[in-house]
Amino acid sequence: MTNRITQLFNIRYPVIQAGMIWTAGWRLASAVSNAGGLGLIGSGSMYPDVLREHIRKCKQATDKPFGVNVPLIYPDIDKHIQIIIEERVKIVFSSAGNPNTWTPLLKQHGVTVVHVVPGSKYAIKAEAAGCDAVVAEGFEAGGHNGREETTTICLVPGVCQSVKIPVMAAGGIASGRAMMAAFALGAEGVQIGSRFAATEESSAHDHFKQAVIHSAEGDTMLTLKELIPVRMLKNKFYTQVKEAEERCAGKEELQLLLGRGRAKKGIFEGNLDEGELEIGMVSALIRDIRPAAQVLQDIWKEFCSLQKGIGEWKI
Amino acid sequence: MTNRITQLFNIRYPVIQAGMIWTAGWRLASAVSNAGGLGLIGSGSMYPDVLREHIRKCKQATDKPFGVNVPLIYPDIDKHIQIIIEERVKIVFSSAGNPNTWTPLLKQHGVTVVHVVPGSKYAIKAEAAGCDAVVAEGFEAGGHNGREETTTICLVPGVCQSVKIPVMAAGGIASGRAMMAAFALGAEGVQIGSRFAATEESSAHDHFKQAVIHSAEGDTMLTLKELIPVRMLKNKFYTQVKEAEERCAGKEELQLLLGRGRAKKGIFEGNLDEGELEIGMVSALIRDIRPAAQVLQDIWKEFCSLQKGIGEWKI
């Protein structure tokens, strides 16, 4: 398949592996890139020197294109950007912040820049800032999310109508069927998080991966809306947040309850009670831990078979 | 197109117009049925004698199949069921309640029964109760909605894996593109509400229809979760609810604020400040008021053109 996304990144399949914190290190990113997708290193949980190490290891592990996801609210963002430029990373996916701040500098250094957006108005801003593409990320997605709660099926067509640059869809996509749904809505690529979190190469703790593949419909919720909305698996920590919210605890109390390092505790250290288990709604449809290359192949095979099937409908 | 849904209802297009309160009377239902879809009368806002009148007028206005939507929590539900049987209505879509209570009686009288569900576990119950099909209704849908907040892209595949009876998708669908997305996810039909609310034959007030077509992304929210979650347009009433919730008002206060007749006031009487403006998230993508037959034809045309296009992809 050749489209604007495969051409933009010079990849075989228009499938991007999301740069998830504590999950997407060089092992996962290089596995996805080697398999023909686009792997992203998740820099949001990395100190600058750790990021540099992951970029270097990723270069050694693959000669295919890969990128780095950069949450723009990260405190050491200037150091991250500097390392990305020094290490000649060619692709950056930015999220959670203003695309105007760093896009021009990155573009000057020949970096392809994609911004992740939860709404059409942000897509328009990203296009104006010079981004090469956007990811339209729906309410379904794990981790930090938008306040308007626009879901993938409503967001993708809206974003596609709002910008001319190519659009990738994210949120709720873990299968060839969902990938086809995204393409029907106008996307030219998909960014997949949760399905790649439950792979052998994911650096998430095995307890976390097990919680993901054993989760059921309704087991994730978008919560902590008073601070920054985040989608996570329901667990003891989630229940504490919910109870605090139900008695109208203020921002300060919620911030204190959240504390520091909750996501690391849950995702990387596997503490299923006290950790913040960030994952997408689609985890309910994920049943096993597989090698990342197999995940990509299975999604692509289902997508191709569905394409053939739809073409043969008599209507 | 022939599939289990067109065969079940003996209709030309697998498109069902949702039986929305204050919106879906005999005019809208018969217009959709005459155009080759399945029109549903929304009985949830009708006294029993009004429902009887709408059924009789619908029979006069079309010789095609049509049905009635019945919210099972309706206080006069037994009278509604009696009228449906007496008037020999052949199709019932039930929602918001236990499908075990009335499905056997309706089936005894030769009625095709479909239950609307916000989750896979409810789909399994509906199948066990003898329902002929289910509508998997996502978080995007207008009006009353489930507590688990599962969206269409995650819900439809889950429901399709859980039951053998055919599945229709609802929530976020107002175009041929979204209909194709639903079919890619495994649905064999779609139930469309908001798009048909903004038609000439819809009995909603023109002020309401104008509010729908002028709404933007992020303008609907699922709210009143302490009572029954309901998706509505943000307006003065919504703001009052939000303020009450933010200071942790109890159920009783919210119930008092909601009062009686809010949906009628908003949808039927066109009071955009004080009314409860129930509509789906996809209203942001609806830009005009058209005849219902044209809505159906436009959706179908886009669906067919997309089917042909997907079939021609080189992958």
Residues B228-281 pLDDT 10s: 999 999 999 999 999 999 999 999 999 999 998 999 999 999 999 999 999 999
Residue A103: its pLDDT value, please? 98
DSSP state string for A13-24 = SSEEE---TTT-
Residue A95, strand partner residues: A71
Arithmetic mean of pLDDT, B207-222? 98
| Predicted model pTM | 0.98
Chain A: residue nearest B171 by CA? A153
Shortest CA gap B34–chain A (Å): 19
Among residues B281, B296, B272, the alpha carbon closest in space to that of A120 is found at B281
Distance CA A275, CA A279 (A): 12
Distance CA B113, CA B111 (A): 6
DSSP state string for chain A = ---HHHHHHT-SSSEEE---TTT--HHHHHHHHHTTSBEEEEGGG--HHHHHHHHHHHHHH-SS-EEEEEETT-TTHHHHHHHHHHTT--EEEEESS-TTTTHHHHHHTT-EEEEEESSHHHHHHHHHTT-SEEEEE-TTSSEE--SS---HHHHHHHHHHH-SS-EEEESS--SHHHHHHHHHTT-SEEEE-HHHHTBSS--S-HHHHHHHHT--TT-EEEE-TTSS-EEEE-SHHHHHHHHHHHTT--HHHHHHHH-SSHHIIIIIS--TTTS--B--GGGGG----B-HHHHHHHHHHHHHHHHHHHHH---
CA dihedral sign, ordered B162, A284, B148, B272: negative
Instruction: For residue A133, give both structure tokens.
Output: 């593409």
The answer to whether the CB atoms of A310 and B311 lie below 8 A apart is: yes
Name the residue with higher pLDDT: A76 or B308: B308
* Helix residue ranges per DSSP H, B110-193: 120-128, 152-162, 176-184
B154 to chain A: which residues are within 8 Å by CB? 140, 172, 217, 281-282, 284-285
Distance CA B223, CA B108 (A): 38
Residue-wise pLDDT for A21-72, tens only, equals 999 999 999 999 999 999 999 999 999 999 999 999 999 999 999 999 999 9
Size of interface A-B (CB pairs under 8 A): 157
Residue B231: its pLDDT value, please? 98
Arithmetic mean of pLDDT, A289-293? 98
Residue A196: its pLDDT value, please? 98
DSSP state string for B188-253 = SEEEE-HHHHTBTT--S-HHHHHHHHT--TT-EEEE-TTSS-EEEE-SHHHHHHHHHHHTT--HHH
Residue B197: its pLDDT value, please? 98
Distance CA B152, CA B139 (A): 7
Q: Which of B140, B153, B234 to mutate to test the interface with A (most CBs of A within 10 A)?
A: B153
Nearest by CB to A153, which of B149, B150, B153? B153
The answer to whether the CB atoms of A171 and B153 lie below 8 A apart is: yes
The answer to whether the CB atoms of B180 and A175 lie below 8 A apart is: no
Residue B315 has pLDDT above 90, yes or no: no
Amino acid at B80: H
The neighbour count for residue A100, using CB atoms within 10 Å, is 14
Distance CA A305, CA A300 (A): 9
The answer to whether the CB atoms of B282 and A154 lie below 8 A apart is: yes
Arithmetic mean of pLDDT, B99-127? 98
The answer to whether the CB atoms of A171 and B178 lie below 8 A apart is: no
Chain B: residue nearest A300 by CA? B315
The answer to whether the CB atoms of B184 and A306 lie below 8 A apart is: yes
Residue linked to tokens 């179908």? B300
Question: For all residues of chain B together, what is the average pLDDT?
Answer: 97
> What's the half-sphere exposure (Cβ side, CA atoms, 13 Å) at A30?
14
Nearest by CB to A281, which of B150, B172, B313? B150
Domains and CATH numbers, chain B: 4-203+285-311 (3.20.20.70), 206-282 (no CATH)
Distance CA A12, CA A9 (A): 9
Chain A: residue nearest B225 by CA? A246
- Tell me, what DSSP letter sits at residue B38? B
B284 to chain A: which residues are within 8 Å by CB? 150, 154, 158
Residue A90: its pLDDT value, please? 98
Chain A: residue nearest B308 by CA? A311
Residue-wise pLDDT for A179-207, tens only, equals 999 999 999 999 999 999 999 999 999 99
The answer to whether the CB atoms of A315 and B1 lie below 8 A apart is: yes
Q: Rounded to the nearest 10 degrees, what angle do helices B236-246 and B251-258 cross at? A: 170
Residue B242, strand partner residues: none
B178 to chain A: which residues are within 8 Å by CB? 153, 157, 184-185
A1 to chain B: which residues are within 8 Å by CB? 313-315
Contact assessment for residue B42 and residue B23, using Cβ atoms and an 8 Å cutoff: yes
Q: Is the ipTM of this complex over 0.95?
A: yes
Residue A107 has pLDDT above 90, yes or no: yes
Residue A14 has pLDDT above 90, yes or no: yes
The answer to whether the CB atoms of B121 and A217 lie below 8 A apart is: yes
Q: How confident is the model at residue A75 (pLDDT cuts 50, 70, 90)?
A: confident
Distance from the Cα of residue B258 to its chain's centroid? 22
Shortest CA gap A304–chain B (Å): 7
Q: Which of A5, A149, A154, A167 to mutate to test the interface with B (most CBs of B within 10 A)?
A: A154
A172 to chain B: which residues are within 8 Å by CB? 151, 153-154
Residue-wise pLDDT for A254-283, tens only, equals 999 999 999 999 999 999 999 999 999 999
The answer to whether the CB atoms of A181 and B186 lie below 8 A apart is: no
The answer to whether the CB atoms of B158 and A222 lie below 8 A apart is: no
Question: For all residues of chain A together, what is the average pLDDT?
Answer: 97
Residue linked to tokens 């058209």? B290
Residue linked to tokens 């009696």? B82
